[in-house]
């Protein structure tokens, strides 16, 4: 049998001290399907070189800027075919668009772009490019989130009535962006983050997982998007009511001033007959509570789960897989799509999800600021 050749990947961002770039590298390479061969990891030459050295990248493929990298890699017969975009939000559009123009596939971190106008441009570009574009809404990569989606899709809960999603963090409870915290710094600078702080950073994850698990899309929302820490430029606490297709009601909370919370993402989907709940604190479990029946806890990697939930596990039940593996699942799905010549990376979220996320951010921030009450997500080419 012929050995599979790993898909060659380049990365933009992820230099020493970065949060998510190293996670992407580990995840992409976890299953041996993808290999990082090139990168432009930092604008700082010394840090860029250090990342390349640490990750075993040839010196001539550790590039000082991403434009040079894309041109050089696209021209090499053994060049990268997939580009991971793991820089702050303001650069996502330019890098993704240029990578697609160079004939490369893209795996971008969220939010898709800095603003909705860029997301619309990018959607047109993805469509015209014939390449795959995936977006790492990582929580959709957890097997038990996929199981929750299957339970809803199969109709086990009956018609969906209500969705409650909360993403609570506490790390911005103090104004650490003013004390030189790099990650808090760019996240609170509108030029680098966009019009949304917390809402663009984690609110989009909550929005995406609600639509992913429930299978229904948000049509309208009523948002209170606030900056609680005095003097903070962008929002750090968002509370909103949602109205989904078919009259389904929902509540979404995204907060980075929930002091004491770590990375508390949880979702509950209630149907006519019961509820399915998933919490990031116990990601290998899924609670299923049906009317007039004892509570059940389903466990990842169990034979009784649906095929989509069983497809991406590596070890027997009881051995926890987590955040890096969820990212790895998205990369494995992306590798499958690319090797099959599919431009639609499903089940990896794509540009349509990116567009919806940007519409969500812009509409909610503007409506909250202007006291508009309920606003629609229609009319943005979704």
Ligand X SMILES: NC(=O)c1ccc[n+]([C@@H]2O[C@H](COP(=O)([O-])OP(=O)(O)OC[C@H]3O[C@@H](n4cnc5c(N)ncnc54)[C@H](O)[C@@H]3O)[C@@H](O)[C@H]2O)c1
Binding site for ligand X (CB under 6 A): 12-15, 18-21, 40-43, 66, 86-89, 91, 109-110, 136, 138, 182-183, 186, 201
CB of 26 to ligand X, least distance (A): 13
Write phi, then psi, for 335 (nearest 5 degrees). -60, -40
Helix axes 204-214, 143-154, angle to 10 degrees: 40
Beta-carbon contacts of residue 204 (< 8 Å; ≥ 6 apart): 110, 111, 137, 357, 360, 361
Distance, CA of 272 to CA of 51 (rounded, Å): 52
- 206 vs 313, which CB is nearer to ligand X? 206
Nearer to ligand X, 19 or 374 (CB): 19
Min separation Cβ 245 and ligand X, Å? 26
Minimum Å gap between C-beta 233 and ligand X is 17
Least separation, in Å, of the C-beta of 252 and ligand X?
17
Instruction: Rank residues 89 and 118 by Cβ distance to ligand X and give the closer one.
Output: 89
**CB-nearer residue toward ligand X: 251 or 324:** 324
Q: For residues 62 and 12, what is the distance between their CA atoms, to the nearest angstrom? A: 10
112 versus 288: smaller Cβ distance to ligand X: 112
The C-alpha atoms of residue 260 and residue 173 are separated, in whole angstroms, by 9
Radius of gyration of the chain (CA): 20
User: Can you tell me whether residue 364 is helix, strand or coil?
Assistant: helix
Cα separation, 88 vs 108, in Å, equals: 11
Min dist CB 272 to ligand X, Å, is 33
Q: How far is the CB of 47 from ligand X (least distance, A)?
A: 6
Q: Residue 33 — φ and ψ, nearest 5°?
A: -85, -20
If the CB atoms of residues 14 and 274 are measured against ligand X, the closer one turns out to be 14
């Amino acid at each position: 049998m012929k050995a599979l050749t790993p898909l060659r990947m380049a990365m933009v961002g992820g230099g020493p001290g970065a949060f998510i770039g190293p996670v992407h590298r580990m995840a992409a390479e976890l299953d041996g399907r993808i290999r990082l061969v090139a990168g432009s990891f930092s604008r700082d030459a010394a840090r860029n070189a250090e990342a390349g050295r640490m990750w075993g990248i040839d010196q001539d493929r550790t590039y000082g800027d991403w434009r040079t990298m894309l041109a050089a890699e696209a021209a090499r017969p053994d060049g990268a075919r997939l580009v991971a975009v793991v820089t702050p939000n303001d650069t996502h559009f330019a890098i993704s668009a240029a990578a697609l123009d160079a004939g490369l596939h893209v795996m971008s971190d969220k939010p898709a772009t800095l603003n909705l106008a860029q997301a619309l441009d990018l959607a047109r570009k993805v469509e015209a490019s014939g390449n795959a574009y995936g977006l790492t809404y990582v929580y959709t990569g957890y097997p038990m989130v996929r199981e929750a989606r299957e339970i809803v899709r199969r109709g086990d809960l009956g018609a969906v009535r209500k969705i409650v999603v909360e993403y609570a963090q506490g790390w911005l409870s103090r104004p650490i962006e003013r004390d030189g915290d790099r990650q808090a710094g760019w996240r609170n600078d509108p030029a680098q983050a966009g019009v949304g702080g917390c809402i663009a950073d984690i609110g989009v994850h909550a929005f995406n997982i609600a639509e992913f698990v429930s299978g229904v899309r948000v049509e309208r929302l009523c948002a209170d998007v606030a900056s609680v820490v005095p003097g903070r430029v962008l929002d750090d606490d968002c509370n909103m009511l949602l109205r989904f297709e078919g009259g389904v009601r929902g509540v979404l909370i995204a907060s980075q001033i929930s002091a004491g919370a770590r990375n508390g993402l949880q979702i509950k989907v209630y149907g006519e007959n019961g509820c399915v709940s998933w919490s990031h604190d116990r990601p290998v479990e899924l609670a299923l509570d049906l009317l007039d029946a004892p509570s059940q806890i389903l466990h990842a990697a169990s034979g009784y789960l649906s095929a989509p939930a069983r497809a991406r596990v590596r070890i027997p039940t009881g051995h926890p897989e987590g955040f890096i593996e969820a990212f790895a699942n998205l990369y494995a799905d992306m590798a499958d799509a690319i090797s099959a010549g599919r431009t639609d990376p499903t089940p990896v979220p794509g540009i349509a999800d990116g567009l919806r996320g940007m519409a969500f951010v812009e509409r909610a921030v503007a409506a909250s600021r202007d006291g508009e009450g309920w606003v629609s997500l229609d009319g943005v080419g979704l």
